[in-house]
Amino acid sequence: MKITGLVAATHTPFHPDGSLNLAIVETQAAHLLKTGVRHAFIGGTTGESSSLTLEERQAIAVRWMEVTRGSDLRVIVHVGTNSLHDAATLAQQAQSLGAFATSAVAPSYFKPATVSALVSSMAFIAAAAPDLPFYYYEIPTMTGLAISPSAFLTAAHDQIPNLAGLKFTSSNLMEYQLCTHAQQGIFDIPFGFDEMLLASLALGARGAVGSSFNFAAPIYLNVMDAYHRGDLESARAHQFRSVQLIQILASYGYMAAAKATMKMLGVDVGPPRLPTELLTPERVTTLQRELDQLGFFDWVKVS
């Protein structure tokens, strides 16, 4: 079954001192459901996974599964890390907790140099949770890998039995099409560039994974709804709202600004963890003023 709709790549909540604030996860989950999101991708890039310990990542997975048990929110656990053994440990835990799926980014310090090395690495992780769908997480801006994800899918098809597809966080739309057509189109390829969602829909995307879906899901649901109604003018207008929003957040430092925006909406996920710097109170005030002038708070209102 392929993922449809929005998958929010969730923030890891911290106390002001940088320790985990697991109590906020319940508020995060409720906010996603209220704004029309039905999947949470936890412990990924937005979740600052590379700045977390193995024990913290395990604690986050436990908490999300506790909070979402019996709800309509499905949890995909990102388990990728430079240590394949740690990744396998996280995958095994995700299966034991009853997660919907696992996903893993490639190791990025000692990088896989070939398609076969990448396939072997992902196969090692996926085998630790054989009963769950596994998604390779393609994000070359962070990993520095230049390996074609479509070549990975072709090579991995016979080697990773539970390979469901890949999370495509790349602006290479030619490669995206190669992925969606790999092995006669059997793989699920949720798109991961929020500000290019409309382009991916035109190329056949059915689902998308994004960080700004945490605080701006109504914008993207409007993009999808307008596109499927054939109203391209409205779809483009809503998509441009996303572009404007992300341009502002990026100008402040995206991670810190995104977390500050969550607090403005009543979901206090705390500061980012070093090495990412938090915004000063003055910068937060200026950001809020810019977002208000843009119309953001009206755009994301839900009844």
CA–CA separation, 120 vs 86, rounded Å? Answer: 16
Q: Is the pLDDT of residue 96 over 90?
A: yes
What is the reported pLDDT for 303?
74
- Which CATH number does 5-237 carry? 3.20.20.70
The 10 Å CB-count burial string (b at 16+, else e) for 270-286 is: bbbbeeeebbeeeebee
Catalytic residue among 135, 137, 176, 227: 137
Q: Is the pLDDT of residue 1 over 80?
A: no
Q: Which 3-state string (H, E, C) describes the chain?
A: CCCCEEEEECCCCECCCCCECHHHHHHHHHHHHHCCCCEEEECCCCCCHHHCCHHHHHHHHHHHHHHHCCCCCEEEEECCCCCHHHHHHHHHHHHHHCCCEEEEECCCCCCCCCHHHHHHHHHHHHCCCCCCCEEEEECHHHHCCCCCHHHHHHHHCCCCCCEEEEEECCCCHHHHHHHHHHHHHCCECCECCHHHHHHHHHCCCCEEEECCHHHHHHHHHHHHHHHHHCCHHHHHHHHHHHHHHHHHHHHHCHHHHHHHHHHHCCCCCCCCCCCCCCCCHHHHHHHHHHHHHHCHHHHCCCC
CA–CA separation, 291 vs 265, rounded Å? Answer: 12
Question: Which residues does the annotation place in the binding site for pyruvate?
Answer: 46, 209
What is the reported pLDDT for 21?
98
Q: How many CA atoms lie within 13 A of 236 on its CB side?
A: 4
pLDDT digits (tens, 9 = 90+) for 184-214: 999 999 999 999 999 999 999 999 999 999 9
137 is catalytic: yes
227 is catalytic: no
**CA nearest neighbour of 126 among 102, 142, 109:** 102
What is the reported pLDDT for 177?
97
**CB-CB contact of 208 with 177 (8 Å):** no
Question: Which residues does the annotation place in the binding site?
Answer: 46, 209
pLDDT digits (tens, 9 = 90+) for 17-26: 999 999 999 9
pLDDT digits (tens, 9 = 90+) for 214-235: 999 999 999 999 999 999 999 9
CA–CA separation, 136 vs 75, rounded Å? Answer: 16
Give the mean pLDDT of the chain.
97
* Side chain identity, residue 118: L
How far the first Cα of the chain sits from its last, in Å, is 30
Catalytic residue among 136, 167, 176, 252: 167
Q: State pTM to two decimals.
A: 0.95
Strand partners, 3: none
